[in-house]
Amino acid sequence: MELLKITTPVLIAILAWLFNEYSKRKWERWQMNRDACLRALNIANAVLSNYQYSNVRKSDITPQHESIETIRGCFNELACTCEKPDVINALKKIMFEQVSPDEIQVLRAAVRKELGMGAYPIDKDKDRAFVGRVNCNKIN
């Protein structure tokens, strides 16, 4: 009985420490995943801003640029932190297929789902899903 009085608090302390370590690792992974997903959205914006669309004048979209190092790094982070392939697949579709600017909504929905924020799309306005230019842009 005396042994139980001594070992129980030690066991509880060890279990609490293990749970705390697990929670910290889970939180760190979620933060890494969030950062990679937000980078994927920025990369998609850059790619979409450089395409030509039949129904959009060239002057309606200000091109954004990303480095190949940033893009490769983002793909690596997504591959290492995502639970499912939806975010990577949506980004690849934007990068390598002929898509319309509203394809950003598919990527946003995949990011929301990946991060546990729900699968319900928040922005359903396909006509203004992608911001190409705003009136407060500094024009060179």
Is residue 77 within 8 A of residue 39, CB to CB? The reply is yes
Q: What is the pTM of this model?
A: 0.79
Averaged confidence pLDDT in the chain: 87
In tens, the pLDDT along 115-140 reads 999 877 777 777 667 777 666 666 65
Is residue 56 within 8 A of residue 101, CB to CB? The reply is yes
Q: How much is the pLDDT for 138?
A: 65
In tens, the pLDDT along 31-57 reads 999 999 999 999 999 999 998 887 777
3-state secondary structure of 65: coil
Chain-centre distance for alpha carbon 71 = 13
Map tokens 């129904």 to a residue: 55
Average pLDDT of the segment spanning 95-115: 92
